[in-house]
Amino acid sequence: MLLQIDHHSGVPIYRQVMDQIRRQVMAGQLPEGGQLASVRDLAGRLNVNPMTISKAYALLEMEGLLERRRGIGLFVATIRKDHKRRTKTQLLEQILTKAVTTAVQFDISPDEVHELTERLFRRYGSKVGSERK
Amino acid sequence: MLLQIDHHSGVPIYRQVMDQIRRQVMAGQLPEGGQLASVRDLAGRLNVNPMTISKAYALLEMEGLLERRRGIGLFVATIRKDHKRRTKTQLLEQILTKAVTTAVQFDISPDEVHELTERLFRRYGSKVGSERK
Amino acid sequence: MLLQIDHHSGVPIYRQVMDQIRRQVMAGQLPEGGQLASVRDLAGRLNVNPMTISKAYALLEMEGLLERRRGIGLFVATIRKDHKRRTKTQLLEQILTKAVTTAVQFDISPDEVHELTERLFRRYGSKVGSERK
Amino acid sequence: MLLQIDHHSGVPIYRQVMDQIRRQVMAGQLPEGGQLASVRDLAGRLNVNPMTISKAYALLEMEGLLERRRGIGLFVATIRKDHKRRTKTQLLEQILTKAVTTAVQFDISPDEVHELTERLFRRYGSKVGSERK
DNA sequence: GTGGTCTAGACCACA
DNA sequence: GTGGTCTAGACCACT
C-alpha cells in the first residue's frame, strides 16, 4: 500500500490518507477482505504521527469502508459489487459536473471540452491495466 | 452580483466568495471596470462577517483581479484578452485533469467519460450565450 | 451545561461527553440552535484535555446532532420534532428490550417487572418537570 | 452451550462470553455441577482465539461462578438458592434503572413505559418455561 | 503484536 | 475569540 502525502497542500494529512485509501479500495488496488498496513507501520513509513493514521482509519471504519477485528488489525470491508460500481460513477459524475458547469459558464463548447479530455487521457494513460504498484 | 454561500461545505467562506467572483469575472458576468458591491453591503446580504468579505476582496486585489480606487470603491481590473482566455482554459483543465485521473484509476473508459460528459452538458445547458444575470 | 465524567468507569471520556450531550439535546435541556460551551471552556471545567472534547464534538457533528459555524462555535442542530420523538422512543425501547429478554430468561414475571419499575420510578422521580439544572 | 459473538459490537469478546455464561447459569440453562465446553472446543466453534476463551473462564472462576477440577475440566459451581435469586433480581434492576432514568429524562410517563414493557413481553414471550436449548 | 485513548502543548485558519 | 490539526509519548485493552 503506497500513499503519497503532500505536507504543503493544506489538506489535512488524515484526509489525504482517507482519500487515497478510499480510492484504492474503489479501484480494487486494495482487495476486499485484505488487511491494511498497521497504524504504526504506516505512520512510520509516511513519517507522521500514529494518531494521525489512527484517525484516518477510524473515520473510514465509521464510513463502513473498513472493518476492525479487535486485537488483530483493520481489513477492507466487503462491499456489494453494484454498490461499488455506483459509488465509482457517482464520484466521477460529481467531478465532471463541476467541469461541465464551469465550461458552460466560460462559454467553452462541448467539442473543446471533449478535445481537452482526450488530450488529458493520452497524457495520464487510459491504457487498460495501467501501472499498478 | 449574486453569490451562493454554503455554510456546511467546509470551504472557508472567504474562499467561496473569491472563487465565485473570479469565475464571474472570467465569464464576463462581472464586466471589466465594473464596480463591486461594498464590503458592508455584500456582507449584509450574505449574512456573514464584514471582515470575511474584506479579506476576500483584499486577496483578489493582491491577485490583480480587482483594483482599489481610494475613496470610491473596488473595481474589476482590465485583463488582457489572451490572458483571460488562458486562465479560463487553465481552470477548466485543472478540473478535467482530476476527472480523467479518477476515471483512469477506476478503469472507466474515455468513451464512458465522453458519454457522461455529453449527458451533463445536456442537463446543464451548453447553449451559447446562456443565462447572464 | 453540566456534565458528569466518571474517570474510573472504563468508558472513554469522549463517549461519556457524547452520550450526555445527546441525551440533553433529546431531553430538551439543550435547546435547538443553542450554542454549546466552547471546547476550551468545557475542557477546563471537566479538567480534561481539549482534544478529548473536540473529538466528542466532532463526532456529534458527524452524527448531525451539532452544527459548526466556522470561527464562531458549535450549535445544536435543528431536528424535526417527530424525528426527535421517534429517536427518544427508540432509545428507550432498546433498553427495555434488554430488560424484558433478561426477565424472560430469568423466569421473572411481567408483574414482578412492573412492580420493580414502579419502585424505581418512585425512587428516581417521575414527577413532571423534575429537577432541571 | 450456545453463545452468540458479535464482532462488531465493540464489547470485548471475552466479556461477551462471560456475560452469556453468567446469564445461562442464572437462568438454569447451564445446570449447577455441569461441565463446560473445553477452551479449545468452544474457541473452535466460535472461531475466536483460545486465549480469549481461557481469559473468560479464568475470570468467571475468580468470580466463584465456575470451579476448576484439575485434569478434568471446568464445572458450574453450586450457588445458594437465595443468593442466586438475589443476583438475578440485581441484574434485572440494574437494567431497569437505566430504563427508568432514561424515561424520566425524556419526559416519558410511567404509564407509557408500562405499556411499552407489556408490548415487549408479548413480543419476546413471557410464557413460563420458555424455549430452553 | 494490534488499535484506542489521553495528555500537554504547539501552530493554524476562520470570523 | 472559535475549532482543527499535529506531535511525541504514555498507558491500556484485546488477541
What pLDDT, on a 0 to 100 scale, did the predictor assign at position C127?
52
Q: Over 50: is that where the pLDDT of B130 sits? A: no
Tens digits of per-residue pLDDT, B109-129?
999 999 999 999 998 875 544
C1'-nearest nucleotide to the CA of A70: F14
Tens digits of per-residue pLDDT, D54-96?
999 999 998 889 999 988 989 999 888 888 888 899 889 999 9
Q: Over 70: is that where the pLDDT of D133 sits? A: no
Closest protein CA to C1' of nucleotide F14, residue: A71
The torsion of the CA quartet D25, D30, D33, D36, rounded to 10 degrees, works out to -110
What mean pLDDT is predicted for residues C91-105? 92
Which of C70, C75, C78 has the highest number of chain B CBs within 10 A, making it the mutation to test binding with B?
Answer: C70
Would you place residue B4 in the very low, low, confident or very high pLDDT band (cuts 50, 70, 90)?
confident
Q: Which residue bears the cell 470603491?
A: B73
Would you place residue B8 in the very low, low, confident or very high pLDDT band (cuts 50, 70, 90)?
confident
Å from the C24 CA to the F1 C1': 26
Tens digits of per-residue pLDDT, D5-26?
888 777 889 999 999 999 899 8
- Residues from B contacting C (CB-CB < 8 Å) are 7-8, 12-13, 49
Q: How many residues does chain C have?
A: 133
- pLDDT > 70 fraction of chain A, expressed in percent and rounded: 94
Would you place residue C118 in the very low, low, confident or very high pLDDT band (cuts 50, 70, 90)?
very high
**Spatial contact of D29 and D74, defined as CB atoms under 8 Å apart:** no
What pLDDT, on a 0 to 100 scale, did the predictor assign at position D130?
43
Q: Which of C23, C91, C104 sits opposite D124 (nearest CB)?
A: C104
Tens digits of per-residue pLDDT, A41-59?
999 999 999 999 999 999 9
Q: Over 50: is that where the pLDDT of B26 sits? A: yes
Asked if D8's CB is within 8 angstroms of A70's CB, the reply is: no
Give D-chain residues touching C97 at CB under 8 angstroms.
120, 124
Query: Cβ atoms within 10 A of the Cβ of C2, count?
Result: 10
- pLDDT > 90 fraction of chain C, expressed in percent and rounded: 61
What pLDDT, on a 0 to 100 scale, did the predictor assign at position A132?
42
Tens digits of per-residue pLDDT, B95-110?
999 999 999 988 899 9
Q: How far apart are CA A62 and CA C61, in angstroms?
A: 13
CA of B44 vs chain A CAs: smallest distance (Å)? 26
Å from the D14 CA to the E1 C1': 18
Å from the C61 CA to the F11 C1': 28
Asked if A114's CB is within 8 angstroms of B114's CB, the reply is: yes
Q: Domain limits of chain A? A: 13-76, 81-124
What mean pLDDT is predicted for residues A104-129? 84
Q: Do D and C touch, counting CB pairs below 8 Å (3 needed)?
A: yes
What mean pLDDT is predicted for residues C3-28? 91
The torsion of the CA quartet D8, D14, D19, D23, rounded to 10 degrees, works out to 120
What pLDDT, on a 0 to 100 scale, did the predictor assign at position C128?
45
Tens digits of per-residue pLDDT, B81-95?
888 888 899 889 989
Q: How far apart are CA C64 and CA C41, in angstroms?
A: 22
Would you place residue D127 in the very low, low, confident or very high pLDDT band (cuts 50, 70, 90)?
low
Q: How far apart are CA A99 and CA A105, in angstroms?
A: 10
Taking all residues of chain D, what is their mean pLDDT, rounded to a whole number? 87
CATH number of D13-76, picked from 1.10.10.10, 3.40.50.1100, 1.20.1530.20, 1.10.3720.10: 1.10.10.10
What pLDDT, on a 0 to 100 scale, did the predictor assign at position D66?
92
Whole-model pTM: value is: 0.80
What pLDDT, on a 0 to 100 scale, did the predictor assign at position D129?
43
Cell reading at A21: 485509501
What pLDDT, on a 0 to 100 scale, did the predictor assign at position A18?
94
From residue B22, alpha-carbon distances to A69, B30, B57, B59 in Å are 49, 9, 11, 11
